[in-house]
Structure 1
Amino acid sequence: MDYLILTEKNSAFNKYEEALGGRSGMYEGKSYQLVHARGHLLELEEPAKQVSPALKEQYQSWDPADMPWNVSDLRWRKATIDSGAKQLLNTIGSLSKEAKAIMIATDNDPSGEGELLAWEVINAIGWQGQVLRIYPVDESAPEIKKAMAKPKDVTNQQKDGDYLKAYARQRWDYLSMQLARLSTSYARAAGYRSVPLLSQGRLKSPILAFINDREEAIANYVKKPFFEVKFKDNNDHVYARKVEKDDDQPAFRHSDKADAEDELAAQLSEPGTVEVTKQEEKRQAPNGLLDLAKLDAVLSKQGFSSKLIQATYQTLYEADYVSYPRTEDRVMTTEQFNQLVDNREAIAQLVGVDPDKLTHLEARAKLVRDQNVAHGANRPGSKVPSDLNELTQVVKGAQAGKCAIEIYRLLAMSALSILGEDYVYVAVEARIKEHPEFTTKFQQPKELNFKEVYVDGDLPKDQLDAGTTALAEVMEGANPKPSKPTKTWLFKKLASVGKYGLGTGATQQSTVAQLTDPKSRMYYLKDTRGTLSLTPNGKMTALMGKGTMIADPEVTKDLFADMDAVGRFKKNPNEVLKTSEAVITHDMPILEANVAKLSQVAKVEDQPREKREITFQGRTGKLSLDYGDHHFTDEEVDQLLAGESITINVNGHPMTGKLAWKTYKGYDFPGFQTEQADWQRQITFKGKTYDVNKKWGTHNFTDAEWTKLEAGKEITFEYKSKDITGKLIFKKMDNGSTKLAFVPSFDPNYTK
């Protein structure tokens, strides 16, 4: 076999199978075999497993005294995510023995994530042969075939810039988990012992800082009215004096209305003559296409969550209805432009755009180019649906169906707008002849053109000509109150940092999707139709991050730049990793001091969590003396150490259990283990024993259903007049642990 072609997931595998004519065979004189991962098959192990046994306790610890870590202590070990991942890895390894080269065909997204997960597989199977990389613009058959014709040799892993960039990012983020441990530990040590994970990160912390600063500005806003003399002409245009930047109190703005009236009477009481100083016809071309962040900001106003938008877009992409989601391009190639031109009438009919408005069929240089374009801007895909309802057939659920239609509609109108002619308007500037410091400016639309296809906001309104005469009057104003933070505002803030902004639109959208997901451990932002507010946990996390480097957007901007430099071989990855120690060392005392700010949103709990060092079954560890709201007495601890079962009252319910050794993220510790409750059933799943819930809702699983569930198979049963399909899955809980449970197919945690 010439090529073992590694795709990122099963859906991509299917696309390649269709494009090349089979899962294996011959293509252009080369024999090949397709295989797929399912995203990352491996992940970095817990810190305690990355170091020598002598350092294990230090790296298990959340105690600030054990940080910052020494990067040279870490072995950077990776392990398969689960048994399914291990099985896939074994299959890929077995097939690779027959191959002359492995061809990486994972996503080539700007972060290098596809490169990283491919090299994880290649390294894990011990491959020593040739490695090739192809870069299709999308997963359509023509683009796959085009990419297959020009593979790049990346056998030397250290010369693969995309991999090095992702390598640096992954390891930097891993090291930054210390900041989450520090934030959480400082808060708990100060008495906030029920505080959840307070996670800090290179993008999430600046986002939370922006939101917190805006919320504080709103809370601290004090209205300061002022009175100012302005002229208004006979066509209602207002003429005012220029307020210099950063001048909050110009002399002509009076706190007392009487002073403004005196100024008017003494100096400005006579009518003024309007003098037009500029009247120039101008043209404005379309600015560019929507990226994923802007798409999210618009759709959120319709009630769609960031997580739903992200998942729905991905599904539409896999079905060829839209282009690659995680692009950083704001332009498209000539070929992509020509495809849009060819499909314009069909797409316009779908989304209600007048085809007669789409007359600019020559590519604009600022929107179409063939150099330095990876995927092209977000736009409709190669497959045009027969009607918008067709899109609902590839997603699950009514809400996802509505979201799919709106995603396509917005992308289509945004893309079609570049086929509209330039917006034409007259720019008018005028002043009061007798008092030329009083000026006005406005636009008079002549031809809306592309703005009638798509405009972000309201269409320009018709304006009357400048008047001929104007009268002065006292007008009241006030310092502007900060508006509520919205996604539109946030994404603009992120885009305004530095020359290129903080991350791509897709990265920003993905981070906000996590922060606004109520099921996430990092549910820090509430999204109310595109308006954002900090949750209590988000507020605590933001307060802990005040004044830190990790929450400083300029630091994050430099970090993004450093990682890009690694990808261009301008910087050594290990040099970038050293900056993590500088950030953590700088931020530790600030995080500790910021605990004092938490009293704004939380109360110190009366009794700190107490632990006792014990020896049990020949092993030593620290036993927490608290279980729920129950505090173990000395007598109960003695009974537990003797191996006895005891019954305690937890949150008003009796619970029976005994002492046992538990494991959490590689850390072994003694703890109270409850006995199997009446609502539980003990089963064997994938060779291990688990206690699971006997029922889902009010449905009690039958023995026949348990047989299928224990075998890892799906079952279907009737529940409240509906068919429910699902299976047993290790579901991630809010505290970071996993629990074996029945998960229905409509649940976001469900995987095939």
Structure 2
Amino acid sequence: MTVGILTEKPSAARHFAAALGGSSGTYNGEQFVVAHARGHLYEFVDPHWMVSGPALVEKYQKWDLANLPWDPNDLSWELELIKGAGSLARDVNQTLSGCDEIVIATDVDPTGEGGMIAVNLLLELGLRPRSWSRMYFTDEAPASLQSGFTSRTAIASLQDLDEYKKAVYRSKFDFLSMQWTRCATNMARGCGRDIVLRQGRLKSAMVKLVGDQLQAYNSYVKQPFFQNRFRDENGVLYTNPAETRFGQKNQVPGLYSASPVVVDGTAMKQTAPPQLLDLAALSSMLVGQGVKAKFVLETYQKMYEAQVVSYPRTEDKTITPAQFNELAPLVDKIAAVVGIGTALLTHRQPRGTHVKPQGAHGANRPGPKVPASLDHVTQRFGQTGRLIYETLAKNYLAMHAEDYRYEQQKGHVQRYPAFVGITHVPKSAGWKAVFDPDAGDDSPDPGGNTAPDGVAVENGKGLGRIAEPFVFDGANKRPEHPTMKWLMNQLAKSDVGTGATRTSTYSEVTSTSANYPLLVERGRRLTLAEAGEMSWLLLPGTRIGDLELTEKVYADMRDIAAGTATADDRLAVVAGWVREDVAQMQKNAEVMRSRLGLQKTAVTQSERAAGTWTATGRDVTFARSWSGHRFSDSEVQRLLAGETIEFQAVNRQATSYDVFGALAVQTFKGTKFVGFKKLGLGHRDAGGNAQPPTQWCSHVFTPKEIAKLAAGEPVEASDFVSKDGNAFQCKVWFKEDKPGNGKKIIPDFDASLDSPPVSWCKHTFTDAERSALSSGTSIHVKGLTSAKGRKFDADLTWKEQDGKKKIVPAFA
């Protein structure tokens, strides 16, 4: 009997091999073999591929509001291999096909993602072992993997695996959320803006939070106030909450005089080290140093694969005892790399706040392979890698430092006891000497109080002896300008997404290479891009814009995993939500148009043809027109039958040309669609071979020239005319420019010409001059014009130079 172990990624397979003694072999008396995926290998096909019948295909392909909402029961939920995953899927199939038992050993996480990755792959491959089982492990330490293997749990049915059921529900819900993107995009197009407004649980939450905070920030009105307070010689403030505030400084009465300070009490306080970082917090810290979230994700993944840092996509905020023990012998070595003295790292026992028995991959931290130095990290992973390792290592090492300790001193003004002051006197820096998570934060916004009432300020001297009265100049605090750090904190408070998911989605919505980014980074600050502002104005009052939506989805996932609810029941409400949000967005669109100065415009839908495509047996729809040509009923039927058709199209310059092609699956901006694909220009002969066109750039080819082009030979002419109306001479070929795009006329300006050009430096040669040049005779020409517009005279010769014949000037 052979047990097949399916892991989620290559690194996990390596860890299993290390724990069990190889990629195959015997452990605890059982034969085993290890195979691995690389995350998701399958994804949902586009919605119009999930339905049957031309009417439904049309409904799920077109983006107009009349086709919303969707009915989940219409969808087959068919999967397809992700691009480039075919060879890996075949490797898994080959490795596991002969196994008697297959063990799901993918990541164990609260969302069930690991379980779904495995089940989707196993079901699509059609594997049928005698039995299924699931391994559960807290981390990938050898002991955990060995224990998980020997105590694996039997699975009666893959489809009934609790992880799979809840993860598939979430995946289907997020797939259905594409309806909100279509709805919002339709609103934008109804305002004359051809822009895609992407919506989703996390994207919409980010836009809503940033937009609302920007509005609060920009709507801030400073309200100054003046108030009597005291300040001692050490800078400690003494305030009375009941003291009257005035609108003008000259209104404040001079009621008080200097007075001694009375110490009411002192107490020693201490704070534990900050929590371990997740990818969102790490990226938030690095964005202030000019590192984009995209590069943090890409670089961290490379460092993880090299085992320099831990698993990136963890949801854990703590580590397990085994993970603590794994790094314990490496603490001093890690400290040496990042320049932290070991004298600061005296707390070598696990902290209950940071080390807990539950968990999977553990919080983000240094990996088991400690680099020789930060310079070595830079050489392998660049400056971003250096910053990642230095920040991650110091955060982890802070856990091994002592608590930050300070003395809190409270006192009051003797003659006016209602005025109270508080200060903190640092006694031991502890973890702050190792890692300060707030280092480098932006200074407070203008208009805010640097030390709000009741907040103690660190003071190395403590309370002073004498307090002097003064008029305090204050104001209401301005709301914080949104930053990545602020946004990630807000999402964490609302429990929207995981650290890794927040970071990857943030990278997507702020990408400068995206066609329609939602957010814009300006240094550390965040603003709304055009698409983001339009989305924000459409979101008020909608379900998709509600931060509690994710909480609802996660509650559904728990119920589905427990068997108290089904995915079909919980997905059934989505249609109603979409219907409500379409109505709400239509109302919000009026506000959007008013705010942005847009006009309501009619959205025109292009005509489409429909039918069953014999190449796949599927019902499809496709654009009825292509480059100015509308397909006739006969042409539509021929295309659906898989035939290649010919017709005359019109380019943007209103010039007609001949083209032939057939229906094909194509991709535009990541979306697959069926449409006419050009296979070549010109006509085809009886054998289906492409024939050269009759003319190109105003030159009409002779029958002899057409024959040469068809035979793969070049043709030279001097009466070609460019788009700008300039005549030019060159050789042309009839061939493919790019494989698969068909043959067309390709000019070759580097080829040696067979005869002198018609003109040179804005001088048009006479027939006699061209004849002389052809015979190798030099001619003298006056009034030539250089590229910079200068006039000159020269003797011109038609001869070979640099491997080709050309006009060569000689100057007296």
Tell me the TM-score range normalised by the shorter chain. 0.7 to 0.9
Residue 98 and residue 663 in structure 1: after superposition, are their counterparts in 2 closer, same or farther (change >3 A)?
closer
**TM-score under structure 1 length normalisation:** 0.79
**Preserved CA contact (<8 Å) 1:109 1:326:** no
Corresponding residue for 2:221?
222
Partner of 1:246: none
Which of 276, 286, 293 is matched with 1:289 structurally?
Answer: 276
Instruction: Kindly indicate whether structure 1 or structure 2 has the higher relative contact order, using CA contacts under 8 Å at least 6 residues apart.
Output: 1
Match of 2:782 in 1: none
Give me the CA root mean square deviation: 3.9
Matched, 1:388 2:374: yes
Q: Match for residue 250 of structure 2?
A: 258
Cα offset, 1:73, TM superposition: 2.1
Partner residue, 1:550: 544
**Matching residue within 510, 517, 521 for 1:527:** 521
Residue type at the aligned position of 1:212: G
Aligned-pair CA distance for 1:120: 0.5
**One of 492, 497, 500 as aligned partner of 1:503:** 497
Task: Mark the CA change 1:78 to 1:512 in structure 2 (over 3 Å): closer, same or farther.
Answer: same
> Is 1:611 matched with 2:598?
no
- Taking the aligned partners of 2:322 and 2:95, their CA distance within structure 1 comes to 36
Alpha-carbon distance in 1 for matches of 2:105, 2:488: 31
Which residue of 2 is the match for residue 704 of structure 1? none
How far did residue 348 of structure 1 move?
A: 0.8
Amino acid at match of 1:445: P
- Which deviations, in whole Å up to 9, do the C-alpha atoms of 1:410-440 show, x marking residues without a partner? 1111111111112111112223344443322
Gap change, CA 1:114 and 1:227, over 3 Å in 2: same
After superposition, residues 169-184 of structure 1 pair within 5 angstroms as: 169-184=170-185
Q: What secondary structure, in the 3-state scheme, does the structure 1 residue paired with 2:405 have?
A: strand
**Structure 2 counterparts to residues 369-518 of structure 1, below 5 A:** 369-370=356-357, 372-392=358-378, 395=381, 401-458=382-439, 461-497=458-494, 501-518=495-512
Distance 1:26 1:522 in 2: 53
Deviation at 1:662, TM superposition (A): 6.0
- 1:105 Cα deviation after fit: 2.5
Instruction: For 2:425 and 2:206, locate their aligned partners in 1 and report how far apart those are by CA, in whole Å.
Output: 38
613 and 335 in structure 1: CA distance in 2 versus 1, 3 angstrom threshold: closer
Alignment check: 8 A CA contact 2:259 2:466 kept: yes
Query: Which shows bigger deviation, 560-569 or 290-299?
Result: 560-569
Length, aligned pairs only = 665
Q: Does 1:580 align with 2:574?
A: yes
Deviation (angstroms), 1:624: 7.5
- Measured against aligned partners, the alpha-carbon deviations of 1:140-166 in whole angstroms (never above 9, x if no partner) come to 656544543332323433553322221
Match of 2:42 in 1: 42
Deviation at 1:529, TM superposition (A): 4.1
In structure 1, C-alpha distance between the alignment counterparts of 2:212 and 2:13, rounded to whole Å:
46
Please tell me the residue identity of whatever aligns with 2:474. G
Instruction: State whether structure 2 residue 648 is matched by structure 1 residue 645.
Output: yes
Q: Structure 1 166/614 Cα, relative in aligned 2: closer, same or farther at 3 Å? A: closer
1:346 correspondence with 2:333? yes
Please tell me the residue identity of whatever aligns with 2:606: K
Q: Classify the secondary structure of the residue corresponding to 2:548.
A: helix
**Residue 553 of structure 1: how far off its partner (Å):** 1.1
Deviations 1:334-390 (CA, angstroms, capped at 9, x unpaired): 2222333321111111111110111112222222222x2222221112222222344
Partner residue, 2:27: 27
* C-alpha distance in 2 between matches for 1:609 and 1:661: 24
Deviations, residues 572-620 of structure 1 (Å, cap 9, x unaligned): 4334323423432321111222223444457559885463467999999
Is the CA contact 2:648–2:657 (under 8 Å) kept in the aligned structure 1?
A: no
Identity of aligned residues (%): 32
SS in 2 for 1:611: coil
1:13·1:34 contact (CA, 8 Å) conserved in 2?
yes
Give distance in 1, aligned partners of 2:655 and 2:349: 73
Query: 2: CA distance between counterparts of 1:356 and 1:311?
Result: 35
The separation in 2 between residues aligned to 1:76 and 1:50, in whole angstroms, is 6
CA distance in 2, matches of 1:567, 1:620: 36
> What is residue 287 of structure 2 aligned with on the other side?
300
Greater Rg, structure 1 or structure 2? 2
- Unaligned 5+ segments in structure 1 are 244-250, 396-400, 701-752
Query: Aligned partner of 1:286: which letter?
Result: P
- Is the 1:228–1:476 Cα contact (8 Å) retained in structure 2? yes
Deviation (angstroms), 1:332:
1.8
Query: Distance in 2 between the 1:35 and 1:471 partners?
Result: 75
2:212 matched to which residue of 1?
Answer: 213
Distance 1:614 1:121, change over 3 A: closer
Q: Which residue of 2 aligns with 1:715?
A: none
SS at match of 2:6: strand
Aligned-partner Cα distance in 1 for 2:118–2:744: 38
Q: Note closer, same or farther for the CA distance 1:363–1:89 as it changes in structure 2 (3 Å cut).
A: closer
Task: Read off the aligned partner of 1:340 and give its amino acid letter.
Answer: L
Q: 1:475 to 1:164 in 2, by over 3 A?
A: same
Structure 2 partner of 1:732: none
Is the aligned partner of 1:114 residue 2:106? no
Q: How does 1:685-696 map to 2 (within 5 A)?
A: 689-690=740-741
SS of structure 1 residue aligned to 2:370 = coil
- TM-superposed CA distance for 1:3, in Å, is 1.6
What residue identity is the alignment partner of 2:229?
A: K
| 8 Å contact kept, 1:64–1:185 | yes
CA offsets per residue over residues 152-192 of structure 1, 9 Å max, x none?
A: 32343355332222111101101111111111122213432
Tell me the distance in 2 between the aligned counterparts of 1:282 and 1:626: 75
